[in-house]
Amino acid sequence: MSNRELADRGLSNVTFVKGDAHKLPEDWTADFDMVFVYDVLHDLPDPHKTLKQIHRILKPDGFLSLIDFGFHSDPVDNAGDKTAAMFYSVKNGIKVLDLGY
């Protein structure tokens, strides 16, 4: 979903932003109600630094939704792990359905 699609649906309080999770803009400090991180941390060079950045940008009563898996970024490192193979096979084959909400 893009920012334009959000606007088309009348969602004005959500924005997608692309950037460096290790160095989030200073003017974002204590500005976010919620940060959602899905299947990202294990792929980052310094997950701890990213978590510190997320903590900085969250409002004092903000929420972090974090979902990550114990798999490796390099598929070769997942060799022999049937759970990792299944997860990445299913994840890459999922089609998102527009339910019209």
Residue 51 lies in a domain: yes
The span from the CA of 62 to the CA of 73, in Å, is: 29
Q: Which amino acid is at 93?
A: G
Enclosing domain of residue 17: 3-68
The two structure tokens encoding residue 14: 């959500």
Residue 90 lies in a domain: no
Residue 76 lies in a domain: no
Residue 75 lies in a domain: no
Q: What is the CATH number of the domain that holds 53?
A: 3.40.50.150
Residue 86 lies in a domain: no
- Per-block average pLDDT, block size 10, for the chain (101 residues)? 79 80 95 88 88 96 87 68 63 52 48
Instruction: Determine contact, residues 43/73, Cβ cutoff 8 Å.
Output: yes
Q: Is the pTM of this model over 0.85?
A: no
pLDDT of residue 42: 79
Q: Which amino acid is at 8?
A: D
pLDDT of residue 63: 93
Cβ-based neighbours of 1, under 8 Å, separated by 6 or more: 16
* Number of domains comprising the chain: 1
pLDDT of residue 22: 94
Residue 82 lies in a domain: no
pLDDT of residue 80: 73
pLDDT of residue 59: 96
Residue 92 lies in a domain: no
Residue 96 lies in a domain: no
